[in-house]
Amino acid sequence: MINVDNSVIDVITTADPVFLKSLRVFIAGDDSRSRAIDISDAGVDKLVKACPSLQVIALRGTHNLTRAAFPNILKSCKEIESVIINVVKGNTSKRTRLNSTLDWLTDKSVE
């Protein structure tokens, strides 16, 4: 597995616009989550803005994301059907917990 980081996102987002608009699935990391992927909130934001037709996003083994990543995906990808974000095995922090994101989503649905 290669380490997927923001530099990989930079390469993807400079691809042909037709490709970017047709990209439906983005999967980074591996199911075992034994190695971290170095994608930040800024990287996720750049990806979803460049690829608004994404339907599936899986980020397995993250360690740099905060609660901002999830709402940015939902805002930018209108056709999203599945989002998987999990942390590298054995690494749990307050930054990666989803409780505050779920609160944010609840607040938005009431507005």
What are the pLDDT tens digits along the chain (111 aa)?
557 899 999 999 999 999 999 999 999 988 777 778 889 999 999 999 999 999 999 998 888 888 889 999 999 999 999 999 888 766 655 554 544 454 455 454 444
Is 88 a member of any domain? Answer: yes
* Cα 42 from chain centroid (whole Å): 10
User: Does 45 reside within a domain?
Assistant: yes
**Cα dist from 76 to 5, 35, 50, 90, whole Å:** 20, 27, 9, 30
Secondary structure (H, E, C), 79-93: CCCEEEEEECCCCCC
pLDDT given for residue 97 in this prediction: 53
Instruction: For residue 1, tell me if it sits in a domain.
Output: no
Q: How far is CA 35 from CA 2, 29, 60, in A?
A: 10, 8, 9
pLDDT confidence of residue 110: 44
What is the CA angle 39-40-42, rounded to 5? 120
Indicate the SS3 state at residue 56: strand
- Residue numbers of the domain that contains 47: 6-110
**How many domains does the structure of the chain reveal?**
1
